[in-house]
Amino acid sequence: MSVIDFRFRPNTPETISGIQNSKMFKGLCEMIDFSKMKPQTLDEVVADLNSYDVQTAVITGRDCETTYGAKSNNDSVIEFVSKHPEKFIGFVGLDPHKGMRAIEELKVSVNELGMKGAAVDPYLAQIYANDAKYYPIYSKCCELDIPIVFTTGPATLVPNSIIDHVAPRYIDFAARDFPELKIVISHGGYPWVNEAINVVQRNKNVYIDLSEYEFSPMSEAYIQAANTMIPDKILYASAHPFVDFKQALKTYESLPFNPDVRQKIMYDNAAKLLGLKPQATVPVNGDQVQNLVGDIVRQVMMELKK
């Protein structure tokens, strides 16, 4: 099955070093075994993705310079995409506190540098998703017809962050104020599992990925919702390299999604959101199956006679 990974970052030496030395995630990094994050060249990363039939990977940038003094990583996202445009789709990270500078960066990134979306981190910006500082960004995303990713989750050990800033209920305000804005809630809106599910279900323009929280307490509700309420709104995302994408693929093989729902989650929903071609399928009838089985049997018999 072909795959679109909606949250991925190449595990190059520069990426891993940037994570380890970040001001925001220093405490979190002390809990992580970085020996499992084996650095690779970008070409090696792409070869690995190809071997696992990951057709496209979305890389989201991050800019929290105003609140944490950290340099944006958008340049590296642009570099990854420029080197492998057939594999990577880049989303520019935006700092809402930068006002019109953020809007100008968004315009240039999309119109001149090949970015296909935007990304924001309300807990790092230390404001709610429905804060007025975000609204010019949302408006420009609508104008450019691009999706925006909201990074949510518990913000474990991130200094000065307030978990309530990423509660899905505030994304619901933005979705209602901008019904044309294509929104992705990353990390499942965890720990507000049921709240996130209902925000996705009640807004046509809101999608969700479950990255890193597929087996957390209450996560079974995500699976139930995927098979019933929101089969067209869930996106596969690995959160590589925090979660190795190979392990994430195994996780999704084990989760009890209905077969048609699994296809939507792993590829179709993201392809629709990103404006990519749907995965080609070849219809197979009973005669074709019988002929295929016959061919296999004949080949086996020929080998036995040798």
pLDDT for position 115:
98
Q: How confident is the model at residue 289 (pLDDT cuts 50, 70, 90)?
A: very low
pLDDT for position 36:
78
Q: Which residue has the higher pLDDT, 183 or 294?
A: 183
Say how far apart CA 106 and CA 101 lie, in whole Å. 9
Q: How confident is the model at residue 284 (pLDDT cuts 50, 70, 90)?
A: very low
Ranking 5-19, 42-56, 117-131, 269-283 by mean pLDDT, the lowest is: 269-283
Tell me the average pLDDT of the chain. 92
Q: What is the mean pLDDT of residues 65-87?
A: 97
Ranking 2-6, 104-108, 155-159, 247-251 by mean pLDDT, the lowest is: 155-159
The string of pLDDT tens digits covering residues 122-149 is: 999 999 999 999 999 999 999 999 999 9
Q: What is the mean pLDDT of residues 13-40?
A: 86
pLDDT for position 304:
47
pLDDT for position 282:
46
Range of the domain at 85: 3-305
Q: Is the pLDDT of residue 285 over 70?
A: no
Q: How confident is the model at residue 23 (pLDDT cuts 50, 70, 90)?
A: confident
Residues in the chain: 306
The string of pLDDT tens digits covering residues 230-247 is: 999 999 999 999 999 999
Q: Is the pLDDT of residue 301 over 60?
A: no
- In CATH, what number is assigned to the domain containing residue 286? 3.20.20.140
Domain count, the chain: 1
Q: Which of 35, 87, 28 is nearest to 244 (CA)?
A: 35
pLDDT for position 290:
52
Q: What is the mean pLDDT of residues 271-275?
A: 97
Q: Which amino acid is at 21?
A: N
Say how far apart CA 20 and CA 17 lie, in whole Å. 5
**Beta strand 182-186 pairing with 206-209:** parallel
